[in-house]
Structure 1
Amino acid sequence: MFNFRIVRSSSCKFKQCTRFITDGPSTTTGEPSKIIPKQKEKSDRTRGTVDNRMSAWAIHSYGNIDELQMTRSRMPIITSTTELLISVKAASLNPIDYMMINGYAQEFGRFLRNHQLEFPLTLGRDFSGIVIDKGQDVKNFKIGDKVYGVLPIHRQGSHAEAVIAEQSLTCLKPDKLNFIEAASILYSGLTAWSALYLSGELCIRDPKNYRVLVTGASGGVGTLAIQMLNASGANVIASCNSTAINLVKKLGAHSAHDYRDPNYITNVAKDGPFDIILDCANMGYKKIPPSWQYSKFITLNSPLIKNTDKYGLLGGMAASARDLMVANIPKCAQGKTVRWGFFAPFHAGVEFIDDLINKDKLRPVIHGIYGFDEVPEAFEDLMEGKLLGKLVVDIDA
């Protein structure tokens, strides 16, 4: 459906950059994208299947990007009958990866890990790769299958040569996607899906003819949200940087607005009222212009995890319930609600996204590709923001 070709751009500050064009052959044919890796000295890293050890990017304490270290560790071991051992081919970066380096979600993660060792902690939520072992109750995958999947935040991550994944959060890789593309989808996709279809209730309502405003529409979540909504028949209005307007329109936005335009607020208001405003730009409900009329405001910037880190699990839940009430009390009389969107590791969402991919209704948008030795540089670029889509690490490069 969308024929984006990845090309080298000498004017871009990213180490391996992409721009999006719609003529010529597609890269989404199952073959690796034609990229020219940055020339650098080869490391002494070797694939970790010979001596039962592997390389991984991990942190040993919370802090900043300087905590990232390339480590050699034992290959992970299957401990559940429903788990898969994956030889990782590609993995993406998400904002939560950098936030976790700073200690974000540490209390929530400790609770979900159930007293398992916290460090060394490997980052990375998305992956694609090949099944090299499986639990005895895994029926839908066999050794050698090419797959893609996602990892909840309490699991060891995919910035490694191998990873353990749950079969319920793993799918066979579509032939139309290469490993790089497949590794860019599910974390952002499940965040968009849960925000729209769970928090936004589109799972129990017909989204056809809904008017939905997506702010931050050119990022990882926004680009996938537009395509999901477009596939469902919704009328999508996008807010983004001027350089991304053509991109979001090609993805399915019916109209798009440059947030730096002096008339931005007025122009967006004219496209309302909105059934849903999906806030992918960290705008927050307090900054919604009075002229924007809406029914549901869904923000991805929930205070739940921050409150849990600050007050502990129970205290954080109580503080978050208070915050949600404070946000909604003045809105309810106007027929409006403020809601939170989260990454939701649900099999139903994985199936929904996989179905859209196989029907050519959802395609990945990739901003930059990095070699495995360039993970710290990828994090630096992630921190700078202003991305069109996702950053992906080619583990074999």
Structure 2
Amino acid sequence: MLGRMNILCRKSFLHLCRQLAVAGKDRGIHSSCRRSTVMPAWVIDKYGGNDVLRLNQNVLIPIIHYPNEVIIKVHAASVNPIDVNMRNGYGANSLNMSRDPLHVKMSGSEFPLILGRDVSGTVMECGLNVKYFKPGDQVWAAVPPWKQGSFAEFVVASANEVSLKPKSLSHAEAASLPYVALTAWTALVNSCGLSKEKCPGKRVLIIGSSGGVGTAAIQLLKSWGAHVTAVCSGNAFTVMKDLGADDIIDYTVASLQDQLKTKDPFDAILDNVGGTSEELALQYLKPWSGATFVTLVTPFLYNNDRLGIADGMMRTGVTLVSKVMKHYCKGIHYRWGFFAPSGPFLDEIGELVDAGKIRPVIEDVLQFSDVRKAFQKLEAGHARGKTVIQVVDPKK
């Protein structure tokens, strides 16, 4: 039955593509699926360095498997650190468990694997239960890492992961935001307990503020009325000021601890760096006031890769409980932050974008053929914004 449904979905998809191709000039929709049932996509067939990335011109166009899914024609995508980590094999045990929780597939069944989490594009087909989108809608989304990604001509996403693209942004601009904005949002809202109502007057320190998540977090916090102190290197000062940071600390000129001693205590710290950063929590947060330290650098995936799922989760649980208790005894809440896909959150972020309170920070826009170059740029470090992959020529 499922196989028959898949065949029907593919036939209806191709029929829809032919209809859209006819109306393309009037509706601004372009599709190459009239040619065949395959598409170009950047894939990996094993984990490793940049040499494992290859452009495959004959990847099967994805189909709808569940009634709440949509097929999106990708106009633009962007590269995130998680893409580099996944290419290297980081988190493979956990992600494969999400892909195949019953372990019915053979080892290596995730290949060929398409990377890429961010997508901005056009809805091409909707599942039977999709109520809020229709073919032709311009959308953006962050595709979860356990699904096939967006470095391809088409991608499938659940409707609850998708949102209408902000009207004020081009596809290239929109593709730079979803993953980092959602990561910042879930860390600040779900882990820190911050919100538009709670932020006015709060003092927040962001460690590693010049990266994608950091720049998104600064803008979210400022739109909610918080006082933001950004920690970065000196060559990112201009970007930090442009984004609205109230105070900027250059960690390269003097000890971060020494510089923080001159500042008033904080209500929250968002750590994008890891290492010894969490030692700052006990020194520079306001104790017994609900102050929270949230780090996005956790041992969860590393433990599962090294020890296996069962032992890894046990080790991770012990580590988290010990850290939570250690900080709680000093009057500070300790939390881990994780990315979570969410169309409703993207709706709210999109409203802030169209209101001019959040803007994309883009360092470079590359063509689809330059995906390897985009990975190299990210691995080189010290980027001052996202690298975007233009999958569809915006002039067409």
- Indicate which of 294, 299, 307 corresponds to 1:298: 294
Q: Distance in 2 between matches of 1:216 and 1:334?
A: 25
Residue 3 of structure 2 corresponds to none
TM-superposed deviation, 1:205? 6.9
1:242 is the counterpart of 2:234: yes
Which has the higher mean CA deviation after the structures are superposed, 124-133 or 205-214?
205-214
Q: Distance in 1 between matches of 2:392 and 2:298?
A: 36
Residue 90 of structure 1 corresponds to 76
- Indicate which of 61, 70, 73 corresponds to 2:55: 70
TM-superposed deviation, 1:330? 3.2
Residue 182 of structure 1 corresponds to 174
CA contact (8 A) 1:85 1:132 kept: yes
CA contact (8 A) 2:72 2:121 kept: yes
- Indicate which of 290, 300, 310 corresponds to 1:314: 310
Residue 364 of structure 2 corresponds to 368
Q: Which has the larger radius of gyration?
A: 2
1:394 is the counterpart of 2:379: no
- Indicate which of 337, 346, 351 corresponds to 2:333: 337
Which has the higher mean CA deviation after the structures are superposed, 328-337 or 294-303?
328-337
1:140 is the counterpart of 2:126: no
The TM-score with structure 1 as length reference comes to 0.84
**Map 1:50-61 → 2, pairs under 5 A:** 50-61=35-46
Q: 1:123 to 1:231 in 2, by over 3 A?
A: same
Q: Distance in 2 between matches of 1:47 and 1:393?
A: 18
TM-superposed deviation, 1:306? 1.1
- Indicate which of 376, 379, 382 corresponds to 2:375: 379
| Structure with the bigger percentage of helix | 2
The TM-score with structure 2 as length reference comes to 0.84
Tell me, which stretches of 5 or more residues in structure 2 are unaligned?
A: 1-30
Which has the higher mean CA deviation after the structures are superposed, 94-103 or 323-332?
323-332
**Map 1:1-397 → 2, pairs under 5 A:** 47-71=32-56, 72-114=58-100, 115=104, 117-203=109-195, 206-262=198-254, 264-285=256-277, 287-288=279-280, 291-294=283-286, 295-396=291-392
Q: Distance in 2 between matches of 1:389 and 1:173?
A: 20
TM-superposed deviation, 1:251? 1.1
Q: Distance in 2 between matches of 1:49 and 1:362?
A: 38
Q: 1:387 to 1:287 in 2, by over 3 A?
A: farther
Aligned AA for 1:234?
A
Q: Distance in 1 between matches of 2:261 and 2:222?
A: 20
Tell me, which stretches of 5 or more residues in structure 1 are unaligned?
A: 1-45
* Aligned-pair Cα RMSD in Å: 2.0
Q: 1:164 is paired with a residue of what secondary structure?
A: strand
Q: Distance in 1 between matches of 2:242 and 2:65?
A: 44
Q: 1:263 to 1:62 in 2, by over 3 A?
A: closer
TM-superposed deviation, 1:373? 0.6
Identity %: 39
Q: Distance in 2 between matches of 1:148 and 1:330?
A: 40
Q: Distance in 2 between matches of 1:151 and 1:80?
A: 15
Which has the higher mean CA deviation after the structures are superposed, 75-84 or 113-122?
113-122
